């Protein structure tokens, strides 16, 4: 996936950073004190050419180079090209490379609280996740949680709400989940385990074969765009929504702290601006592509049934989620601390977001459901 090259001055004008530069807050030409170039290596957890996630990391690198006018360049390597896809955290933490692009919940075994900075079941969607991170104290908490690992985190790419998954049996109640084998990671997987599901952890490249051969009965991946490209409509009959397990999955940029501290302030600002721009683009791209590819799935695969989880099942999932949260909070004090802050922020939004909920409810009823 490609994008038009944007002139640095035009980007600054559009994003408002140009106003800061004009006011003398941000130098228009970002260079190191001695005018030398800084070169970073960035590794990701995404397959080569993987749309939006890997191409978004590459888009970020291009913007950094353009905005800094070459003062900072970033060489991006896809998962497995330089380090294993799940080796990003360690590679950046140790200083083997300067930066990485991945998802914080992959590090749940090392940092249980990190899961809140990607997505948790029945958690914050994209807009409220962005609000929490940038204006509600979430990014400060994230920075604290990563500090012992010599990492500086920042949001980079968001998928928006994901799909609920592909199933080869109808799900009308929790009884239908008993004995089912499903590929799903994270806290969503723990909820399914409590519901009687045998959870299988597989990398994306292995899901199709496992589902096709019956090694698993169900799988979640991302959404219609990526699910179509992976061929899932060819081998599964029921496509369930919504992705209650990942309502607004936030990917991450992680930078080795020493590398971050060595950057001049103006280049730190460039990195953040590029990440913000790519995150906004990624959410828009997911929305556009998911809508188009859901339509393609329904047109090209008429035997596929697009379903919503019954309210009864979602109610059960919600109750099981609270039990999983309580269990995790009892086991890890940082998880408990972030969980408390997360809940406090979500509750603080309830009054205002009720207005948006009723708008969308009415809009759906009048525009799409009629």
Q: What is the DSSP letter of 180?
A: -
At 370 the pLDDT is 58
Strands 165-167 and 198-200, by their bridges, are unpaired
Q: Given the structure tokens 């005018």, which residue do they identify?
A: 35
At 35 the pLDDT is 57
At 36 the pLDDT is 60
Element (H, E) at 76: strand 72-77
At 354 the pLDDT is 82
At 79 the pLDDT is 94
At 362 the pLDDT is 83
At 326 the pLDDT is 96
Q: What is the Cα–Cα distance from 50 to 54, expressed in whole angstroms?
A: 5
Q: Who's near 97: CB < 8 A, 6+ residues apart?
A: 40, 41, 42, 43, 82, 83, 91, 256
CATH architecture of 8-158+247-287: 3-Layer(aba) Sandwich (3.40)
| Reported pTM | 0.87
Q: Are 8-158+247-287 and 162-244+303-331 in the same CATH fold?
A: yes
Q: Who's near 59: CB < 8 A, 6+ residues apart?
A: 3, 278, 281
Query: What is the edge-to-edge ordering of all strands in the sheet holding 151-158?
Result: 72-77, 38-44, 99-102, 250-256, 151-158
Q: Does domain 162-244+303-331 have CATH number 2.102.10.10?
A: no
Q: Structural domain boundaries of the chain?
A: 8-158+247-287, 162-244+303-331
C-beta separation of 89 from 254 below 8 A: yes
Could you list the mean pLDDT of each consecutive 10-residue stretch along the chain, which spans 370 residues? 37 38 36 68 95 98 97 97 95 98 95 96 96 98 98 98 96 96 93 96 86 96 96 97 96 98 98 98 98 98 97 97 97 97 94 82 75
């Amino acid at each position: 996936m490609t994008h038009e090259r944007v002139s640095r001055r035009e980007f600054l004008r559009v994003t408002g950073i140009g106003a800061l530069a004009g006011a003398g807050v941000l130098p228009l030409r970002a260079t190191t004190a001695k005018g030398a170039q800084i070169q970073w290596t960035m590794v990701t957890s995404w397959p080569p050419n993987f749309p939006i996630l890997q191409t978004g990391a590459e888009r970020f690198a291009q913007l950094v180079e353009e905005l800094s006018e070459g003062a900072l360049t970033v060489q991006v390597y896809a998962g497995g090209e330089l380090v294993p896809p799940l080796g990003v955290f360690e590679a950046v933490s140790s200083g083997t490379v300067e930066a990485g692009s991945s998802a914080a919940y992959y590090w749940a075994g090392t940092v249980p609280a990190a899961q809140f900075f990607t997505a948790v079941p029945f958690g914050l969607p994209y807009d409220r996740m962005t609000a929490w991170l940038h204006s509600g104290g979430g990014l400060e908490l994230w920075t604290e949680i990563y500090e012992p690992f010599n990492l500086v985190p920042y949001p980079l790419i968001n998928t928006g709400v994901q799909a609920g998954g592909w199933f080869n049996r109808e799900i009308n109640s929790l009884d239908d989940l008993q004995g089912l084998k499903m590929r799903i990671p994270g806290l969503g997987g723990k909820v399914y385990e409590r519901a009687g599901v045998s959870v299988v952890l597989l990398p994306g490249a292995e899901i199709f074969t496992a589902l096709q051969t019956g090694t698993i009965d169900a799988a979640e991946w991302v959404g219609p765009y990526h699910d179509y490209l992976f061929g899932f409509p060819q081998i599964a009959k029921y496509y369930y929504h919504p992705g209650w397990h990942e309502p607004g999955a936030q990917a991450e940029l992680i930078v080795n702290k020493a590398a971050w501290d060595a950057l001049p302030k103006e280049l730190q600002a460039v990195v953040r601006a590029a990440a913000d721009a790519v995150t906004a683009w990624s959410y828009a791209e997911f929305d556009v592509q998911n809508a188009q590819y859901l339509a393609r799935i329904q047109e090209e695969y008429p035997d596929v049934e697009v379903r919503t989880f019954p309210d009864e099942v979602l109610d059960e999932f919600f109750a099981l989620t609270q039990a999983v949260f309580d269990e995790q909070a009892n086991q890890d004090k940082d998880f408990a601390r972030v969980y408390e802050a997360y809940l406090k922020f979500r509750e603080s939004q309830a009054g205002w977001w009720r207005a948006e909920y009723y708008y969308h409810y009415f809009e759906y009823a009048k525009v799409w459901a009629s």
